[in-house]
Amino acid sequence: MAQQSQSQHSIFSGLPSLQTQPISYAFGRNVPQSLYETCSEYAMCGTLKELLSRERTLQQQIDGLRHQTNQDRISLSNNRQICKNLQHQCQVLETTLEKCKRSEKEARDNLKAEREKTTVAERSCASLLAENETLWKFIEEVKVVSSNPANTSSTFQDIYCAKQISQMQSPPDDSTIFYDIDDNYNEINVMREDQQAEIELLS
């Protein structure tokens, strides 16, 4: 043991300060200047490499953001064009809608006018039907009178007398026969004969 301690002492005899100072102190003031500068260069190189790596990373991120920005610009331009097209289509649809509204209004007005015309025509038709029924009743009364002169209805007599009065106001011809007013029976018979002749001519 004594020999081993003596050999260790002989080894470190040239470096007495290293035995009394901490190991970390060897990298302090007692380190040679050239070694210190070399270590500093290594540290700077490591820092530069780290900075370069970070720069490349940031540059990649910037490139990615630029690419995304370009894509967003393209999408924005496309969306603007789509919006313009949609606005144009909306204007076209609004114009078409206005035309349809005007056409619908015209159709409604025409329908209203046609309904009014139909109402007037229905009223005219109802009036004509009533007149037709009246004429048929008149014809039936004429047939009854011609078949049985004794059963002359008052309605037929009124209409017939009014007709005869209008005929008597017109200029007479050779076939017109005038009788005295007091001779009512003969006058009615003559009128009935004339009416029967007119019916035969009409038939």
In a domain, 107, yes or no: no
In a domain, 152, yes or no: yes
Q: Which one, of 135, 143, 132, 134, lies nearest residue 198 by Cα?
A: 143
In a domain, 177, yes or no: yes
Provide, rounded to the nearest whole percent, the portion of the chain with pLDDT above 90.
Answer: 34
In a domain, 187, yes or no: yes
75 has a pLDDT exceeding 50: yes
In a domain, 188, yes or no: yes
Average per-residue pLDDT in the chain? 70
Q: Phi and psi for 32 in degrees, rounded to 5?
A: -60, 150
In a domain, 51, yes or no: no
In a domain, 189, yes or no: yes
Question: Is residue 194 very low, low, confident or very high in pLDDT (cuts 50, 70, 90)?
Answer: low
Residues 6+ apart with CB under 8 A from 107: none
Q: What is the pTM of this model?
A: 0.37
pLDDT at 17: 44
In a domain, 53, yes or no: no
* pLDDT per residue as tens digits for the range 9-60: 444 444 444 444 444 444 444 545 554 455 555 666 667 778 888 888 999 9
Residues 6+ apart with CB under 8 A from 151: 144, 145
pLDDT at 32: 52
69 has a pLDDT exceeding 50: yes
**Residue 178, domain extent:** 148-202
State how many domains the chain has: 1
